[in-house]
Structure 1
Amino acid sequence: MPQHFSNEDYLKGIVLFGLNAATYKMALAKILLEAAKEQKNKIHWSELASSFFQLYKSRLAEKSMPQQGIAHRQTFMERIVQQHQSGKLSESDAIEQVGLKGFIDVIPRFQTIGTNKDIVKEFFYEFQYGSTLTLKDSLLNLSSAQLAELEGEIDARWGLLEGAFSINQSQYHLANDIREIYLQSGYERKPLTNNIPFLSGYQGNICFYCAEHLDSEIHVDHVLPRQVLQHDEVWNLVLSHPECNLLKSDRLVGKHFILKLIARNENIMGSNHPWKAKIAASLGTTPKQRAANLQKHYAKVSTVLGNNYWGGCDSYNPAIDPFYKKLITVLNNESQSI
């Protein structure tokens, strides 16, 4: 991978592009960001255990959502918090147990992207197990704006993992009506929920249509117009600036945006996103199937809309779109070419 990526890109890759069996990576990421805010280059094990325990204690008190997806099983942290809440463990004893057993997997494995252990090996910290985490400049030099954006993505990722685990444990089917999450009603857009930072990450944190950075006002748009498809499937939803959304309206987009949509969907498929199964069910179980089926949808919409065509904003050039230079996009392209 010859491209150079920013420290922020690498940390987003850890958070976004991971096959999470539990939520431990999100909790550790939050602790690391807090230490970076305070410019602490060392975290002692007892402090780490205390922060980890307090995070889970607070989270499970607010809404007791499952922290892993296997039915009738709990994570070690869920059990420790419950034992503390029932009076079986004092807080100090609970924290001691976290220090002894809570980090066996997450500390050694955190610095991986997907299943690749080499891309960011020891990039953000080194550790002496049971003693200290030593943070590196790659983490400490992140700006306050970068830290805030990362924190938003981590919070949203944690919430979506809990939702996915709840679905798995309860054997519920994920609702098809994405409007419950994104839209006030069928065609009315609104500023999005706290899931936006997470979804934005798979799009490279840029407007889908002009490739400029997304700001505080964001629209959700159907790439292939909803008036034709008559559904709100996540594979067809993207984030855009309001003005770009209005310029596009319900016109047919250029084929370069369909190719970009295919790549964006593969970014989601490369992770443990809760909607991964929905995309697979709608478009196919392999990248080739998904691309072919999306192209078929495009051809059908083209037949309906005819010459009502929109090639994109005047400033947009697909050849230099930063989306294709983002870490997770590059990783997914490389994995498909192997």
Structure 2
Amino acid sequence: MHDRFEDIDYWKAIILYGLNAATYKIALGKTLLELTKHNNESLEWSTLAKAYLDNYINRLSANPLPQQSNPSRRTVMERITTQLRLGTITYEEALGMVEREAFNDVIPRFHTIGVNKLMGAEKFYHFDHGKKLYLHDSLFRIHESSSGELYKELDARWSLLEGAFQMGHDNWDLANDIREIYIKKGTERTNITGNIPFLNGYQGNVCFYCGEQMAPSDIHVDHVLPRQVVMHDEIWNLVLSHSLCNLHKEDFLVGKHYLEKLIDRNENIMGSNHPWKHKISASLGATKVARAKSTYYHYENVRQVLGNRYWENSPTYNRATDPFYKKLITQLNNKP
């Protein structure tokens, strides 16, 4: 069944749909990509430990943020890097601790997609615990074709996990008038371009409106429901598009086929167990049915404000050929 998916689909599913109570899987993904560039088919455990430790040292040296969801605990890597920073252990001692303590869970569980241990099993490596990691051709292929994109996604996800681990819940007051609801719930317009790597993976790396690939220099973050009405930058309403598609859409109301796609994209995020899914759940509802209903509710509210000023779609868009719907992550999270 899954033979039709590409290596990069499995990688993105593994990274985007990890349970991620901590940052271990993200750090290991980045470490694997970094070590793959040396073209060695096997890695000594000590080599893996050094690259893994260096990633955490670089990550936590300037502005250390929490690396797991439980505020009363610290991860193994936080404890090791803290001791190293305080001078209570040497770098060599830290390496030994990483080799012994840091990989017991993440190495065996890296390939798990959500809670499914079989779908991606040994796709990118197999290992002899405590001794060697053996890299597979699939890892070399995605590094050669897409390493820049994957590095950006890993960095973005690491940052978003850290932020989510210390993120508080928003409290909003509602008003009676439709426009006032969105104004009261709204925020000042902020720079939302930092969401690009995060959104790209869940969107399938194509323009939301035309379904074509986007060049890194031509990616815009767009509000599906116009910001002039909703007055917020919540993630559930943000998508990526070409500048031209964004320009053509302007602040018109999209056709309902795009609203359906927005609902499906949000279910991709919900299926990932990323901490930001709780923000979507808080805004739209705890179940798939409730979230769809809420999204249509917002859509109808915006229609009342803007009237029937529709932008149906990009001239080249065809849902039947849209790569978004062919991606492993979309098919996993949007089953009937």
Q: TM-score, normalised by structure 2?
A: 0.91
| Residue equivalent to 1:211 | 211
Amino acid at match of 2:169: H
| Residue equivalent to 2:15 | 15
Instruction: Kindly state the Cα deviation for residue 300 of structure 1 after the two structures are TM-superposed.
Output: 2.6
| Residue equivalent to 1:180 | 190
| Residue equivalent to 2:121 | 121
| Residue equivalent to 2:95 | 95
Whether the 8 Å contact between 1:177 and 1:233 is mirrored in structure 2 is no
CA distance in 1, matches of 2:164, 2:80: 22
Whether the 8 Å contact between 1:224 and 1:252 is mirrored in structure 2 is yes
CA distance in 2, matches of 1:160, 1:287: 23
| Residue equivalent to 1:321 | 322
How far does the alpha carbon of each residue in 1:253-312 deviate from its partner, in whole angstroms, 9 at most, with x for none?
A: 111100000000111111233421221111110000001111122223233333311111
CA distance in 1, matches of 2:333, 2:3: 14
| Residue equivalent to 1:242 | 243
Structure 1 residues 51, 115: closer, same or farther in 2, change over 3 A? same
| Residue equivalent to 1:141 | 141
CA distance in 2, matches of 1:174, 1:271: 21
CA distance in 1, matches of 2:107, 2:206: 31
Amino acid at match of 1:173: H
Instruction: Kindly state the Cα deviation for residue 72 of structure 1 after the two structures are TM-superposed.
Output: 2.5
Structure 1 residues 85, 286: closer, same or farther in 2, change over 3 A? same
Structure 1 residues 2, 29: closer, same or farther in 2, change over 3 A? closer
Whether the 8 Å contact between 1:163 and 1:274 is mirrored in structure 2 is no
CA distance in 1, matches of 2:200, 2:7: 18
Amino acid at match of 2:309: N
Q: TM-score, normalised by structure 1?
A: 0.90
CA distance in 1, matches of 2:278, 2:157: 16
CA distance in 1, matches of 2:188, 2:89: 42
Instruction: Kindly state the Cα deviation for residue 26 of structure 1 after the two structures are TM-superposed.
Output: 1.0
CA distance in 1, matches of 2:93, 2:149: 35
| Residue equivalent to 1:5 | 5
Structural mapping, 1:57-136, within 5 Å:
57-136=57-136
Amino acid at match of 2:315: D
| Residue equivalent to 1:257 | 258
Tell me the secondary structure at the aligned position of residue 140 of structure 1. Answer: helix
Give structure 1 regions of 4+ aligned residues with deviation exceeding 6 angstroms.
none
CA distance in 1, matches of 2:162, 2:188: 17
Amino acid at match of 1:202: Y
Tell me the secondary structure at the aligned position of residue 22 of structure 1. Answer: coil
Tell me the secondary structure at the aligned position of residue 48 of structure 2. Answer: helix
The size of the alignment, in residue pairs, is: 321
Structure 1 residues 178, 322: closer, same or farther in 2, change over 3 A? farther
Q: Is 1:298 the equivalent of 2:308?
A: no
Instruction: Kindly state the Cα deviation for residue 2 of structure 1 after the two structures are TM-superposed.
Output: 4.5
When structure 1 is superposed on structure 2, of 272-281 and 204-213 the one drifting more is: 272-281
How far does the alpha carbon of each residue in 1:89-137 deviate from its partner, in whole angstroms, 9 at most, with x for none?
A: 1111110111011100000000111111111101100000000000000
Listed as ranges, the gaps of 5+ residues in structure 2 are 172-185
Listed as ranges, the gaps of 5+ residues in structure 1 are 183-191
Whether the 8 Å contact between 1:178 and 1:233 is mirrored in structure 2 is no
CA distance in 2, matches of 1:12, 1:254: 29
Whether the 8 Å contact between 1:269 and 1:276 is mirrored in structure 2 is yes
How far does the alpha carbon of each residue in 1:25-72 deviate from its partner, in whole angstroms, 9 at most, with x for none?
A: 111111111122221211100111111111111211121111111112
Structure 1 residues 231, 141: closer, same or farther in 2, change over 3 A? closer
| Residue equivalent to 2:174 | none
Whether the 8 Å contact between 2:67 and 2:165 is mirrored in structure 1 is yes
| Residue equivalent to 2:39 | 39
Whether the 8 Å contact between 2:268 and 2:334 is mirrored in structure 1 is no
| Residue equivalent to 1:202 | 202
Amino acid at match of 2:221: V
CA distance in 2, matches of 1:237, 1:86: 42
How far does the alpha carbon of each residue in 1:6-27 deviate from its partner, in whole angstroms, 9 at most, with x for none?
A: 1111111111112101111111
Amino acid at match of 2:190: E
Amino acid at match of 1:295: Y
When structure 1 is superposed on structure 2, of 150-159 and 34-43 the one drifting more is: 34-43
Tell me the secondary structure at the aligned position of residue 240 of structure 2. Answer: strand
Aligned-pair identity in percent equals 55
